[in-house]
Amino acid sequence: MTLTLKSGAVVKRALALGACVLGGLIAHETSAARADETCNSPFMSGLIKGQEHYLHVWTLGEKGVGDESDKLVTIDVIPGSATYGKVIHTLSVGGRGEAHHMGFTDDRKYLWAGRLDDSKIFIFDVGSDPAKPALVKTIDNLAETTGYVGPHTFYALPGRMLVQALSNKKDHGGVTGLITYNNAGDLVATTPMPVGDGGDGYGYDIAINPGQNRMLTSSFTGWTNYMMDAAQLMQDSAAMKNFGGTMVLWDLKAMTPVKIFSVPGAPLEIRWALKPGANWAITASALTSKLYLIREDGDGQWRAKPVADVGDASKIPLPVDISISADASSLWVNTFMDGTARLFDLSDPEAPKQVYAKKIGAQVNMVSQSWDGKRVYFTSSLLANWDKKGADNEQFLKGYSWDGKELKEAFVVDFHKEGLGRAHHMKFTARAQKAELP
C-alpha cells in the first residue's frame, strides 16, 4: 500500500496557528550530538558530522598497571586545546571483568559498556558532562535473568538497547542470544540465535538497515575460548572447532531469522554501506582473513560471498575491527598480528582492493574514524588473554590525520605509561548543550 502525504493540512494548520508555524526551515539539531563515527546505530537521532571533542576508551584493568581496574578513560581530542591528546578523566568501575565494547543509547546521553567475563553492564551518563562521564547504573544479573553471558555489542533501538551476547551460562560455549533492554535498564526480551537450518547459534555483532527492516548478526566464540590463553587455544584442535561460521539476516520487526549465510572463520564486525541507495554490508572473517560482502542481488536474494583477501591468509594476520567511510567508498581493516591498518577501496564492493597500509604498533585492534574520514583513531587490545606478551604487549590510543594519502600521527597515549591498562573500544562525544529539561 502506498500512502501519499498531504500538504493541504499544513496550510490549514498554518491558518489555525497563524505565526506559529510560519517561516522557512530552522536547521536546528535534533540531538545534542556533534560528532559521529560511521558505525553507530542508525536509530541514534540526527547524526552530526562535525569535530569530536572527547574520545572515551573502555579499558581493561591490567595486573601491575595503575589501580588494575577496568575503567572508562576520556581523552581530549579538541584541536588546539591545551590538553589535546591527553587523558582528562578516568572512571574505574572496580575489578577486572574483560571490558570490551560500548554503545550509545538512541538519545546519545548514555553509554552502555560491557564486560565479557563477569557479564556486567555499566551505564555511563555522557550527556550531562561528556568530559566527566558518571556511572549511573550497573546491570549485574544478565546470566541469571537471561541464561546468556558475554554482553558484546550494544546497539541502540528507539528507547531500547539491543545487546548481542557471545556465550551462555549453561556450558560457556558459543550458542547464545540477543537481549533487549529498555533505556532504563529493564529487561524487555531475549531472542535465541538460530540453531536450525544451518545456524550455529553463535553471535558477535549487530548491524541494522531500518529502511529494509533487516538486521545482520555475525558469530565468534564462547566464553571458554575467549577467556583462554591465545597460544593454548591455537594448539587445542577441539577448541578451534568452536568458532562461528555463520551470519544471520533477520526480520527486525519480528525478530525472526530470514536467512542464514555460511561465512567460515568467525565473521566479526558488520558495517552497512551508509550511502543512500546502497544495499549491502561488509564484514571481515578473522580466521580466514577475508572480506565478505552481504548483498541483495538483482533477483531479490540476499547472499554472502568472499570478495577480497586481507593480507596473506596462510599467516593468519587476524583481521579484527573495520571502519567504513560515510560514503562507503573505503574501509579501514586492522590486522592484529602484524599491528597493521589497511585501507581498502570499496568503489566496487564486489572487488575491494587494498590501496594503503601502515603499521600502527606491535598489535592493533580497534579503529574508529570521524564522519568526514579525516581523523582515524586506533587502540591496541583484543582480549586480555589474546594480547601479545612481553615487549609486544603495547597498549595505546593513537590518533592520526588522514589526507587521503597518508596517516599522520597526531598524538599517542601510552596506556601503560599512564597507568591505565589495555585500551579497547572507543566512542566519540562532544560538549553537551547547556539547556536541558528543567
Partner 1 sequence: MIRRKEAKDGRARFAAPVAAALLALAPLAPPQAAEHGAAATNLPAPGTYVLQKIQRVPDATLLDEAAAPVKISAYTRGAVTALGFFYGHCADPTGCPVAWSVFEAAREAARRDPLLASRLRLVFVSLDPARDTPSTLRLLKSNENGDDGHAPWSFLTGASEREVTPLLRAMGQDVAYEIDDSGRRSGAINHMLKVFLIDPDGWVREIYSTAFLTPESLLNDARTLARAFPNASSRLVEP
Q: Give the footprint of partner 1 on residues 162-191 (CB under 8 A).
A: 180, 182-184, 186, 188-189
CA nearest 142: which of 217, 223, 87? 223
| Cα 204 to Cα 207: distance, rounded to the nearest angstrom | 10
238 binds partner 1 (CB under 8 A): no
Residue located via cell numbers 548483498? 295
From its phi and psi, is residue 9 left (phi > 0), alpha (psi between -120 and 50) or beta?
Answer: alpha
312 binds partner 1 (CB under 8 A): no
C-beta of residue 107 within 8 angstroms of C-beta of residue 90: no
Task: Quote the least distance from Cβ 292 to partner 1, whole Å.
Answer: 21
135 binds partner 1 (CB under 8 A): no
196 binds partner 1 (CB under 8 A): no
# of chain residues touching partner 1 (CB under 8 A): 67
Q: Give the footprint of partner 1 on residues 374-433 (CB under 8 A).
A: 433
21 binds partner 1 (CB under 8 A): yes
Q: Give the footprint of partner 1 on residues 91-110 (CB under 8 A).
A: 106-107, 109
Q: How far is CA 352 from each of CA 104, 275, 306, 348, 355, rounded to the nearest angstrom? A: 30, 16, 10, 6, 9
CA angle at 45 for the pair 283 and 85, rounded to the nearest 5°: 70
298 binds partner 1 (CB under 8 A): no
CB of 251 or CB of 372, closer to partner 1: 251
1 binds partner 1 (CB under 8 A): yes
Q: Which of 64, 80, 196, 211 binds partner 1 (CB under 8 A)?
A: 211
134 binds partner 1 (CB under 8 A): no
Largest CA distance in the chain: 76
Q: Which residues contact 273 (CB under 8 A, 6 or more apart)?
A: 279, 280, 281, 282, 324, 328, 346, 349
| Cα 338 to Cα 79: distance, rounded to the nearest angstrom | 30
18 binds partner 1 (CB under 8 A): yes
CB of 141 or CB of 433, closer to partner 1: 433
Residues that bind partner 1 in the complex, under the rule CB under 8 A: 1-7, 9-32, 42-43, 45-47, 106-107, 109, 157-160, 180, 182-184, 186, 188-189, 210-214, 251, 253-256, 276, 433-438
